[in-house]
Amino acid sequence: MLDIESRSGKKVFIETYGCQMNLADSELMGGVLAGTGYGSAKTLDEADVILINTCAVRERAEDRIFGRLTDLLRYKNANPDLVLGIAGCMAQHLREKIIDQAPYVDIVVGPDSYRNLPAMIDKATGEAADPVLDLKLDKAEVYEGLTPKRRPGISGWVSVQRGCDKFCTFCIVPFVRGRERGVAPSEVVRQVREMAEQGYKEVTLLGQTVNSYRHQLPGEPETDFADLLSMLVPIDGIERIRFTSPYPTDFTPKLIETIAREDKISKYLHLPAQSGSARMLEMMRRQYTRDEYDKLIDDIRTAIPDIALSTDIMVGSPGETDEDFIQTVELMEKTRFDFAYLFKYSERSNTYAARNMPDDVSEQEKGDRLRHIIELQESISAEVFKQEIGRTRRVLVDGVSRRDENDLAGRSDQFKRTIFPKPADREVKPGDIVDVRITDCTSHTLIGEYVESK
């Protein structure tokens, strides 16, 4: 085993693919390694260790990572001591294929084994001929007590839940991330307080179905997700709390009331629908019907009229007919999401769908359907953005505009990118929350002017 002394001076470069949970996990790995003496490499060239944190949710993500591994062979050739590691969901999903196609990989580490990274790197630095593997899923691991090495800034992530228990028929996440578990509220509060002390203004709580969060210690009452939010609201310095992704069936009236009541909780929700067809929702085992989804949207909009909504939609799932697809189009036209993340179905080995449902929508049809809804959403988003003109929104400033450094940039409470000229008579800086009256927009950005808060 190497000690901290002999690791010091060594530098790690972590490259991240996939979702925000992966970005947060990369910060966690950075924290684990910093705690044992590693520094951060600014470029791949100066790295002693390169870790690729991977995504397995669609085949394309995995193909990209295989391509990337081929690129990275060059660094291995230039520096035979370099340790190259594959981490995360694809490591868990495709260990054999990785070892087969990229035998020069030194480490393959799954999402529940990041505490072991320093020891794994030590082992790989020695004369290990075979890759060092750790892919045990651990239903108790929530990385309590570890502090992620967060990128400095205004906004940071806290994982409050790991794994997923829903087993939607198309989805690989429960297989590669294991069972759902919540992080103790005391640990979440500790991390958010620490972030406030370090100057973060916004925290985003992460979980695959974050609002199904629950945690209970023996002899104590259970903490649910609404309780957890209420515990974070009083933390001074944190001005805005966001979370992603909630699951439609885990919304309680108490949670909706909490979001409506608390100014600090962002008025933006991501509500993955997947499809507008009741039949497809059932085949996907989403646990809600189309009517229940519509009712949830109505309930949320009634309680929080200012809410912005986004969704995930998948087209071309096994068995999806034109009629099913029309229902999805109808859902999007009716709901008018502010944003939408749109995907083509991609078969994932091990899932229920891969084992039981033929991938029977042609690639051509999947492509046509996807293009259709991308265009539809572009036009809806453009209209939704236009409707912001004339309104005054609270904007958390996070920097200056890329186009003009005399303009400040940030996000509104509804998560819309907003830019406005620096006011002449008042200093406004990143981290401030200010009122901005929206005067114009482009298709993805609001343009406004600073107004004195009432």
* CA atoms in the 13 A half-sphere facing the CB of 385: 20
Least distance (Å) between residue 165 CB and ligand F3S: 8
Selected from 125, 245, 275, 377, the binder of ligand SAH by CB under 6 A is 245
Site stretch for ligand F3S (CB under 6 A), options 135-143, 159-167, 408-416, 426-434: 159-167
The answer to whether 357 contacts ligand SAH (rule: CB under 6 A) is no
Query: Angle at which helices 253-261 and 290-303 pack, to 10 degrees?
Result: 30
DSSP letters of 252-285?
Answer: -HHHHHHHHH-TTB-SEEE---B-S-HHHHHHTT
Element (H, E) at 453: none
Least distance (Å) between residue 172 CB and ligand F3S: 8
Q: What share of the chain is helix, strand, coil (3-state, %, to 5)?
A: 35, 25, 40
Owner of token pair 């995930």: 312
Q: Which does 58 bind (CB under 5 to 8 A by kind): ligand SAH, ligand F3S, none?
A: ligand SAH
Q: Which does 93 bind (CB under 5 to 8 A by kind): ligand SAH, ligand F3S, none?
A: none
Site residue total, ligand F3S (CB under 6 A): 10
Least distance (Å) between residue 208 CB and ligand SAH: 4
Nearer to ligand SAH, 38 or 243 (CB): 243
- The response to whether 164 counts as a known ligand-binding position is yes
Query: Angle at which helices 20-34 and 117-125 pack, to 10 degrees?
Result: 70
The answer to whether 18 contacts ligand F3S (rule: CB under 6 A) is no
Q: 3-state SS of 350-414?
A: CCHHHHHCCCCCCHHHHHHHHHHHHHHHHHHHHHHHHCCCCCEEEEEEEEECCCCCCEEEEEECC
- The response to whether 55 counts as a known ligand-binding position is yes
Pairing of strands 417-421, 155-159: unpaired
The answer to whether 247 contacts ligand F3S (rule: CB under 6 A) is yes
The rounded radius of gyration (Å) of the Cα atoms in the chain is 23
Q: CA 165 to CA 154: how far, in whole Å? A: 32
Nearer to ligand F3S, 111 or 174 (CB): 174
The answer to whether 57 contacts ligand SAH (rule: CB under 6 A) is yes
Site stretch for ligand SAH (CB under 6 A), options 281-289, 330-338, 344-352, 373-381: 344-352
Nearer to ligand F3S, 247 or 420 (CB): 247
- The response to whether 441 counts as a known ligand-binding position is no
Sign of CA dihedral 281, 285, 286, 288: positive
Among residue numbers 364 through 383, which ones bind ligand F3S (CB under 6 A)?
none
The answer to whether 312 contacts ligand SAH (rule: CB under 6 A) is yes
Least distance (Å) between residue 312 CB and ligand SAH: 3
DSSP letters of 102-131?
Answer: -TT--EEE-TT-GGGHHHHHHHHHTT--SP
Nearer to ligand SAH, 171 or 447 (CB): 171
Site stretch for ligand SAH (CB under 6 A), options 5-13, 129-137, 234-242, 338-346: 338-346
Q: CA 346 to CA 354: how far, in whole Å? A: 10
The answer to whether 19 contacts ligand F3S (rule: CB under 6 A) is no
The answer to whether 58 contacts ligand SAH (rule: CB under 6 A) is yes
Q: Which does 312 bind (CB under 5 to 8 A by kind): ligand SAH, ligand F3S, none?
A: ligand SAH
Selected from 132, 171, 188, 315, the binder of ligand F3S by CB under 6 A is 171
In angstroms, the first-to-last Cα distance of the chain is 61
Selection from 125, 151, 162 nearest residue 31 by Cα:
151
Nearer to ligand SAH, 76 or 93 (CB): 93
Site stretch for ligand F3S (CB under 6 A), options 133-141, 149-157, 163-171, 191-199: 163-171
Site stretch for ligand F3S (CB under 6 A), options 162-170, 303-311, 313-321, 323-331: 162-170
Site stretch for ligand SAH (CB under 6 A), options 83-91, 169-177, 254-262, 275-283: 169-177
Supply the DSSP symbol for 183. P
Q: CA 271 to CA 293: how far, in whole Å? A: 9
DSSP letters of 189-219?
Answer: HHHHHHHHHTT--EEEEE-TTGGG-EE--TT
Selected from 66, 75, 339, 343, the binder of ligand SAH by CB under 6 A is 343
CB distance 314 to 343 below 8 Å: yes
In one letter, which amino acid is 175? Answer: F
What does the binding site for ligand SAH look like in residue numbers (CB under 6 A)?
Answer: 57-58, 170-171, 173, 208-209, 245, 272, 274, 312, 314, 343, 345-346, 348
Binding site for ligand F3S (CB under 6 A): 164, 166-168, 171, 173-174, 208-209, 247
Q: Per the annotation, where are the binding residues for [4Fe-4S] cluster?
A: 19, 55, 89, 164, 168, 171
